[in-house]
């Protein structure tokens, strides 16, 4: 029996068969069970912000698990309180934090806050092709028909607008709207940035109507675009922000932060989560944030991101349509829907990439990716594109 057979026998068919079974990693290099090495250019979907087996993360997590791993929200620990305080400092806004384990849970918390704040009669606005998670509340806000419609109905009136269209947003948000849920750039849709001014327009219409602005920074946050949070590029103040992916560097943790008056929407007993903010995941997240700070990884992400973008843009190839994104969060846009073939050709050449859309390859590597590693991919790119074309 191969591992592929075991995989098919053991798992529900909701996941595709993975192209590779990994055994270990170090930095941005990973090895499969047969000992083949690859350069990891998507870091577990923008999660492993420090790369694999980073000493700071190893030390924080192993030290913490040897002390105490879990206490429940009925008790607390130093790492949990430190992490919440630290996140508020990085956000630079007055607010309060709720911890959970994943992105979808962070958005569930945000959804419940919106419901509590506005009541059941108001509708919500989200974006076409937006992604907010797979649980029923987060899925109700997700604008990707293929994953949403099989699970209808949802207990919410959610109206979808085209992403990046400020006029459509202004028209959709009225005083009967409870909240607008937005990604600062759409991740699962293929790293699609919003035009400049879009988030500011969202802020304005929310101010004018009383709707809450919820920014889903689950993929865009934690230094990935060169700032701690992507909305900081535009200086737009969210009412609620949700985080997960990169925050724990691979250890599951999510956060929902209420800003200003939204900090106190939940009253005692309104929400909770057994594992949320446990000292193990909190220590991991503190190590991630400390390392990003200490090693200047936000600035590094900008530099390496520009190197990758410029290198891709400079390539003249009939299979290549362009590159979009910011920092170490990019999409290689292909001229045809051949992203799966690109992924396979890249893997053969020793690179792991993510075919996020039929015509787009997502690059979301560790923030520690070196200039040499980035260059090795740029050097291999023409041959990968040739193979895809052939």
Site stretch for ligand PLP (CB under 6 A), options 118-126, 183-191, 317-325, 365-373: 183-191
DSSP secondary-structure letter at 101? Answer: S
Q: Which residue is at the shortest CB distance from ligand PLP?
A: 103
Residue with tokens 């829907």: 337
Instruction: Single out the residue of 40, 80, 108, 183 in contact with ligand PLP (rule: CB under 6 A).
Output: 183
Instruction: Single out the residue of 187, 276, 325, 365 in contact with ligand PLP (rule: CB under 6 A).
Output: 187
Look at residue 200 and give its three-state secondary structure: helix
State which of positions 203-222 bind ligand PLP (CB under 6 A): 216, 218-219
Backbone φ, ψ for residue 360 (5° rounding): -140, 135
Structure tokens at 13: 């068919």
Nearer to ligand PLP, 50 or 319 (CB): 50
131 binds ligand PLP (CB under 6 A): yes
Beta strand pairing call for 177-182 and 123-127: parallel
Look at residue 255 and give its three-state secondary structure: strand
109-131 in b/e form (b: 16+ CB < 10 A) is: bbbbbbbebbeeebbbbbbbbbb
Site stretch for ligand PLP (CB under 6 A), options 92-100, 118-126, 128-136, 333-341: 128-136
DSSP secondary-structure letter at 314? Answer: T
How would DSSP label each residue in 126-175? EETT----SSHHHHHT---HHHHGGG---SS-EEEE-TT-HHHHHHH--T
Is 104 marked as binding a ligand? yes
362 binds ligand PLP (CB under 6 A): no
Structure tokens at 333: 């846009």
77 binds ligand PLP (CB under 6 A): no
Distance of alpha carbon 24 from its chain centroid, rounded?
23
Size, binding site for ligand PLP by CB under 6 A: 15
Is 40 marked as binding a ligand? no
Binding pattern for the stretch 85-104 against ligand PLP, x by CB under 6 A and - elsewhere: -----------------xxx
Instruction: Single out the residue of 133, 193, 221, 223 in contact with ligand PLP (rule: CB under 6 A).
Output: 133
For ligand PLP, the binding residues (CB under 6 A) are 102-104, 107, 131-133, 183, 187-188, 216, 218-219, 244-245
Binding-site residues, please?
103-104, 131, 134, 216-219, 274
Binding-site residues for pyridoxal 5'-phosphate, please?
103-104, 131, 216-219, 274
């Amino acid at each position: 029996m191969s591992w592929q057979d075991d995989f098919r026998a053991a798992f529900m068919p909701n996941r595709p068969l993975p192209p590779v079974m990994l055994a270990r990693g170090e930095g941005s290099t990973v090895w499969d069970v047969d000992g083949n090495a690859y350069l990891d250019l998507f870091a577990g979907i923008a999660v492993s912000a420090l790369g694999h087996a980073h000493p700071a993360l190893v030390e924080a997590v192993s030290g913490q698990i040897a002390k105490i791993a879990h206490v429940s929200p009925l008790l607390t620990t130093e790492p949990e309180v430190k992490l919440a305080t630290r996140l508020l400092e990085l956000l630079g806004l007055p607010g309060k934090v709720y911890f959970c384990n994943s992105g979808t849970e962070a958005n569930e918390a945000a959804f419940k806050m919106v419901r509590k704040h506005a009541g059941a009669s108001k509708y919500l606005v989200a974006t076409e092709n937006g992604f907010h998670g797979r649980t029923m509340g987060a899925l109700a806000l997700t604008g990707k028909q293929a994953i949403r419609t099989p699970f209808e109905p949802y207990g919410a009136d959610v109206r979808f607008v085209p992403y990046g269209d400020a006029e459509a947003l202004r028209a959709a948000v009225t005083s009967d709207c409870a909240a607008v849920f937005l990604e600062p750039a759409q991740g699962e849709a293929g790293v699609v940035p919003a035009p400049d001014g879009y988030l500011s327009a969202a802020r304005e219409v929310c101010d004018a109507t009383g709707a809450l602005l919820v920014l889903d920074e689950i993929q865009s946050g934690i230094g990935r675009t060169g700032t701690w949070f992507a909305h900081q590029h535009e200086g737009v103040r969210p009412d609620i922000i949700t985080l997960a992916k990169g925050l724990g560097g691979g250890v599951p943790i999510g956060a929902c932060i209420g800003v200003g008056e939204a900090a106190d929407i939940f009253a005692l007993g309104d929400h909770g989560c057994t594992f949320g903010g446990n000292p193990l995941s909190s220590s991991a997240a503190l190590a991630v944030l400390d390392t990003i700070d200490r090693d200047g990884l936000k600035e590094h992400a900008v530099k390496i991101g520009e190197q990758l973008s410029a290198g891709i843009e400079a390539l003249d190839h009939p299979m290549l349509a362009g590159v979009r994104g910011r920092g170490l969060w990019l999409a290689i846009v292909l001229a045809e829907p051949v992203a799966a073939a690109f992924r396979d050709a890249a893997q053969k050449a020793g690179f792991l990439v993510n075919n996020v859309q039929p015509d787009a390859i997502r690059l979301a590597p560790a923030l520690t990716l070196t200039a040499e590693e980035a260059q090795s991919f740029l050097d291999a790119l023409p041959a990968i594109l040739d193979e895809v074309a052939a």
